[in-house]
């Protein structure tokens, strides 16, 4: 079985490396992760039951996938896609830059923080709104700050390819359902792991309440993650819901220096208690059972071929492909890295409810998430 997914062409047999093509000869994360049913280790109790159509439990420090169900299945991500928006834009935007959102962004449907078209918001504020209260309007405003919606979607999809999240296709910065938009439990775990390596990302997902700017003063916003402050070690990440995607959640918790990631997708109802039990199971079996797969590191950056007739030191023309072969190209930037999540991801050098009712306006509602 290969990882040639719908809409993603296989890697070229020759020519320069091209970021965005999954390997055609293996399943990302290990062959067992091609399964659609429960994938669990032997010698330990089975993971707790969940109503989610797909899930994944992983050790963020080592990358070990501890258990999963349909980990590469394609599902609508709802607002869990905002994790990719954040991981893409945090390195690109100055968090102190002041933004004036457009009327289009302010009028976005679904969950919103209540933006107005005035220059009163910093990128820092919009990132908080994005990850704490799932502001679709904040996602749109951040996309505008990055140049345009089209440019931001291109950046998001390129970032997904760089992380080897080949199941993911972003068609919106906010996760509202769009034709062809998709992700998988495996990809959301990769994206969350990359986010956990960013201090600002960790700050945003773990903030319980914050003051948010208004034309006259501010109002308080509160994090949607119901496990913050209730589950021991909960760091946060992101939940989502749409009528088509159903419930989804990416969560991370840290105990005794170890971080466990849990992802669920396409859940028909309340999932918080189930997520807590899945996290408990992850902490219990971590280091005791053989992994069923692994969270891979970022893809190596393509190395351009040297110009025709390029001359090496000593006056000898460089042979074709010399630049691609130099330095052992193809090694994952995660190899040899310390087990800490931040060291693992940052080593890749990647460039690339709520108190809002106090101020937010009524807007047309297509229910986005809880």
DSSP reduced 3-state for 182? strand
Does 100 count as an annotated binding residue? no
DSSP reduced 3-state for 70? coil
Q: Is the pLDDT of residue 123 over 80?
A: yes
Would the CA dihedral through 295, 37, 160, 7 be positive or negative? positive
- Tell me the C-alpha distance between 341 and 298, whole Å: 13
Q: Is the pLDDT of residue 222 over 90?
A: yes
Question: The domain 49-297+335-358 is classified under which CATH number: 4.10.220.20, 3.40.710.10, 3.10.129.10, 3.20.20.70?
Answer: 3.40.710.10
- Tell me the C-alpha distance between 205 and 225, whole Å: 9
Is 237:79 a contact under the CB 8 Å cutoff?
A: no
**Nearest CA among 107, 14, 129, 78 for reference residue 245:** 78
Active site residues: 79, 82, 134
The mean per-residue pLDDT over the stretch 35-50 comes to 97
Please give the pLDDT value at position 207.
Answer: 98
Q: What's the Cα-to-Cα distance from 107 to each of 18, 219, 267, 306, rounded to whole Å?
A: 38, 19, 28, 49
Please report where in the chains the tokens 């993650």 appear, as a residue.
225
Q: Where are the domains of the chain?
A: 49-297+335-358
Based on C-alpha coordinates, what's the Rg of the chain? 21
Please give the pLDDT value at position 258.
Answer: 97
Cβ burial, residue 158 (10 Å; 0-12/13-18/19+): middle
pLDDT in tens, 61-78: 999 999 999 999 999 999
Please give the pLDDT value at position 24.
Answer: 79
Measured from the Cβ of residue 37, the count of other Cβ atoms closer than 10 Å reads 8
Q: What's the Cα-to-Cα distance from 23 to each of 18, 68, 118, 154, 326, rounded to whole Å?
A: 11, 21, 46, 21, 21
Q: Is the pLDDT of residue 23 over 50?
A: yes
Please give the pLDDT value at position 328.
Answer: 34
Q: Is the pLDDT of residue 345 over 50?
A: no
Token readout for 44 is 């330990």
Is 106:137 a contact under the CB 8 Å cutoff?
A: yes
Q: What's the Cα-to-Cα distance from 12 to each of 20, 98, 331, rounded to whole Å?
A: 11, 43, 18
pLDDT in tens, 11-20: 333 333 345 5
DSSP reduced 3-state for 305? coil
**Nearest CA among 64, 50, 42, 20 for reference residue 249:** 50
Is 248:239 a contact under the CB 8 Å cutoff?
A: yes
Prediction pTM value:
0.80
> What is the pLDDT of the chain when averaged over all its residues?
83
Q: Tell me whether strands 258-267 and 217-222 are parallel, antiparallel or unpaired.
A: unpaired
Please give the pLDDT value at position 304.
Answer: 59
Please give the pLDDT value at position 347.
Answer: 39
- Tell me the C-alpha distance between 318 and 313, whole Å: 9
pLDDT in tens, 238-297: 999 999 999 999 999 999 999 999 999 999 999 999 999 999 999 999 999 999 999 999
Measured from the Cβ of residue 326, the count of other Cβ atoms closer than 10 Å reads 11
Percent of the chain with pLDDT over 90: 74
pLDDT in tens, 177-216: 999 999 999 999 999 999 999 999 999 999 999 999 999 9
């Amino acid at each position: 079985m290969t990882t040639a997914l719908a809409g993603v062409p296989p890697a070229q047999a020759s020519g320069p490396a091209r970021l965005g093509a999954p390997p055609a000869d293996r399943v990302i994360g290990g062959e067992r992760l091609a399964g659609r049913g429960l994938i669990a280790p032997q010698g330990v109790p089975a993971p707790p039951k969940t109503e989610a159509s797909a899930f994944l439990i992983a050790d963020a420090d080592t990358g070990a996938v501890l258990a999963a169900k349909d980990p590469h299945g394609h599902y609508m991500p709802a607002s869990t896609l905002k994790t990719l928006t954040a991981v893409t834009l945090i390195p690109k935007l100055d968090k102190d830059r002041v933004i004036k959102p457009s009327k289009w962004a302010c009028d976005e449907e679904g969950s919103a923080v209540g933006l107005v078209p005035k220059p009163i918001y910093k990128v820092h504020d919009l990132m908080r709104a994005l990850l704490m209260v799932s502001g679709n309007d904040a996602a749109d405003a951040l996309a505008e700050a990055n140049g345009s919606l089209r440019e931001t979607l291109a950046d998001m999809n390129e970032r997904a390819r760089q992380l080897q999240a080949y199941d993911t296709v972003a068609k919106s910065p906010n996760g509202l359902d769009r034709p062809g938009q998709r992700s998988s439990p495996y990809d959301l775990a990769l994206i969350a792991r990359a986010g956990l390596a960013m201090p600002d990302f960790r700050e945003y997902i773990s903030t319980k309440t914050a003051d948010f700017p208004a034309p006259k003063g501010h109002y308080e916003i509160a994090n949607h993650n119901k496990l913050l402050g209730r589950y021991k070690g909960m760091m946060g990440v992101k939940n989502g819901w749409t009528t088509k995607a159903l419930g989804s959640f990416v969560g991370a918790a840290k105990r005794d220096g170890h971080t466990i990631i849990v992802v669920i997708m396409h859940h028909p109802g309340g999932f918080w208690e189930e997520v807590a039990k899945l996290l408990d199971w992850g902490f219990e079996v971590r280091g005791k059972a053989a992994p069923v797969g692994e969270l891979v590191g970022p893809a190596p950056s393509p190395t351009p071929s040297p110009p025709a007739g390029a001359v090496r030191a000593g006056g000898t023309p460089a042979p074709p492909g010399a630049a691609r072969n130099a330095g052992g190209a193809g090694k994952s930037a995660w190899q040899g890295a310390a087990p800490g999540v931040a060291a693992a991801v940052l080593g890749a050098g990647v460039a690339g409810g709520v108190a809002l009712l106090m101020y937010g306006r009524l807007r047309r509602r297509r229910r986005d998430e809880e």
